[in-house]
Amino acid sequence: MGETIADILLILGGFMALSGALGVLRLPDFYSRLHPAGTADTLAQLLVISGLVLHLWIDPNGSYLAMGKLLAISMLLFVTTPAATHAISRAAYISGLRPWTGDSATDDDNQLADSESPLPDEGGG
Amino acid sequence: MNIDGHLIAALLVLTGAILSMIRAASGPTSYDRVLAVNVFGTKAVMLLAIIGFIGDRSGFLDIAILYGLVNFIATVALLRFVETKRLT
């Protein structure tokens, strides 16, 4: 019973990780790519580490040290992943990257493609 | 016996890591690359924890903690380098 619940949690977390990466790969804009990167990864690590902790909790030989380390990893990622996503979005907005509006005439002017220069150095915005 | 759920989850997370590395290789702006590397780091932490359970090595959890910390610091340092063009 408990093993089944832990396996379901693990596979659900793996599915969330895969769908988050698919969103990062397929969405059309940088600001829309921030959304799967920030939310799906947080849920995926929560589900995967909950499954591992549940496996350890059921196992009579499971060590409490490994459980504590897993909870430390979960709390660390739970704080740092949204903070890193916020820092990336803030840096991109300050440097003048405009959001995608679906209008190709205005979108092509604001691409900030790094094939021209290695660093986005224009003072727009 | 309980390898199955771990193995399926590890394969799913590994596929997600490969897809995010494709975005990191072909992102139009440098912020896309930083974001994709951050996503890859989170997936690498999950993969390290699962692989440590499959191989029954609890030392992998320490590596996972270290990778998570280094991932956050590397993201902030890369952003600082992109913004100010120097690291000091």
Q: What is the average per-residue pLDDT within A34-39?
A: 91
A117 at interface of B, judged by CB pairs closer than 8 A? no
* pLDDT tens by residue, B41-59: 999 999 999 999 888 888 8
The low-confidence residues of chain B, meaning pLDDT below 70, are 1-3, 88
Q: What is the pTM of this model?
A: 0.84
Are the CB atoms for A16 and B15 separated by under 8 Å?
A: no
Show me where the domains of chain B are located.
3-84
Looking at residue A68, its pLDDT comes to: 92
- Does residue A116 form part of some domain? no
- Does residue A124 form part of some domain? no
Looking at residue A80, its pLDDT comes to: 93
B77 at interface of A, judged by CB pairs closer than 8 A? no
pLDDT at A78 over 60: yes
Looking at residue A117, its pLDDT comes to: 44
Task: Write out the residue range of the structural domain in which residue A69 sits.
Answer: 2-98
CA distances in angstroms from A109 to B31, B33, B45, listed in the order given: 17, 20, 38
Q: What is the average per-residue pLDDT within A29-49?
A: 92
pLDDT at A108 over 90: no
B45 at interface of A, judged by CB pairs closer than 8 A? yes
- Does residue A119 form part of some domain? no
The shortest C-alpha distance from B54 to chain A (Å) reads 11
Domain count, chain A: 1
One-letter identity of residue B19: L
Question: What interface predicted TM-score (ipTM) does this complex get?
Answer: 0.86
